Amino acid sequence: MSTTTPHEHDHRSHVPQPRSNLLPGIVVLLLLAVPLLWLGTYGYLQHKRLERLRGMHARFNAEPRRMAWVHNALMATLGNRAAAPFQDVTSLVIERQPVSVDDARWLQEFPELTALHLLSVGLTDDHLEPISEMTQLRALAMKGPSITDRGFARLGRLRNLRQIMLREAELTGASFRHLAGLPDLTTLTIEGGRLGKNGIGNLAALPSLNRLELHYAPGRTIDLEHLHRLPALTSLTLEADTLPPGTIDDIARVKTLRGLTLIGPEVTDEDLRTLQSLPDLKRLAMYDVVVSQEAVDAFRTARPDCRLEGKRRPER
């Protein structure tokens, strides 16, 4: 039989129950722990990525970008070693070390990487598939004989590219039509003999291309008949052991040219007289070139506004 009166029962029902003081503390700890755990995971994974690059004997530059505030705070309190994983890799050079297709795909884990140089690393067309997905790239340099038109075509996806350097690739002039979708490409470096007449013509579709470097390719000749069609060209580098007839005349048709570098060929007195006609030419450099002192002196007299530099090769 209950001895509790109705009045006592009602009084107890209104007595506030003690509340736990742990819950707010737990919430605060969770709010602190989640971002700290996330930052710790981020730093650890980035540290492992950098270690893998070092294991590949890569050279790279890194700077604080996405996590700059964390990097700066750690630098101020714990020093460079703690802050290093919170930097982003912005440029990367791998040279004479094997790079697999999986390695190339793994490079996509560096979203701030804008300059990539893969030189003599065993590149093939298959490597260019994952590389073509790195749309943040602005500069791409590759060296290797196993890149063909099929792989090169994929570079047309990299619409942010400003610079391309390609050496030893087995390309035809037709492959360069795939660069037409790169409106901001300003610099192209390649073996000139691989372009051919049609290749030079295909470059005319690049509205921003102002610097063209054509290097020597054994057994190939350079045809610059369509060079004048490049609308923005201001700088040309040409390396060759000999110049086919008419080459200097083709160059002289590029009235926008401000800088010209010749490496290796024999330049006649008449060639230098022809180059005097370039109205905007401000720099003419000739390295390892056979040219007479009389022609050089005559050029200086006729064009005092154009800086002449370089080193001549002794005449035979």
**Could you give the CA distance from residue 175 to residue 92 in angstroms, rounded to a whole number?**
26
CB 298 within 8 Å of CB 273: yes
Q: What is the pLDDT along the chain (316 residues), one digit of tens a residue?
A: 455 555 555 555 555 555 557 777 666 665 566 666 767 788 788 889 999 999 999 999 988 877 776 777 766 776 777 777 778 899 999 999 999 999 999 999 999 999 999 999 999 999 999 999 999 999 999 999 999 999 999 999 999 999 999 999 888 888 999 998 899 999 999 988 777 778 888 999 999 999 999 998 666 778 899 999 999 999 999 998 888 899 999 999 999 999 999 998 889 999 999 999 999 999 999 999 988 999 999 999 999 999 999 887 766 5
Instruction: Answer yes or no: is 5 within a domain.
Output: no
Q: Is residue 6 part of a domain?
A: no
The CATH number of whichever domain residue 230 belongs to comes to 3.80.10.10
Assess if residue 2 is contained within a domain. Answer: no
Element (H, E) at 160: none
What residue spans of 99-158 are helical by DSSP H? Answer: 101-106, 128-131, 149-152
Residue 267: inside a domain: yes
CB 222 within 8 A of CB 198: no
In a domain, 209, yes or no: yes
Residue 55 lies in a domain: yes
Q: Looking at the chain, how many residues does it have?
A: 316
Residue 9 placed within a domain: no
Full residue range of the structural domain in which residue 37 is found = 28-312
**pTM of the model as a whole:** 0.84
- Cβ pair 180, 204 in contact under 8 A: no
Q: Looking at the 3D structure of the chain, how many domains does it have?
A: 1
The residues, ordered by sequence, that sit 6+ positions from 291 with a Cβ below 8 Å of its Cβ are 266, 267, 268, 272, 312
Q: Do residues 227 and 206 lie in contact, with contact meaning Cβ atoms separated by under 8 Å?
A: no
Q: Is residue 14 part of a domain?
A: no
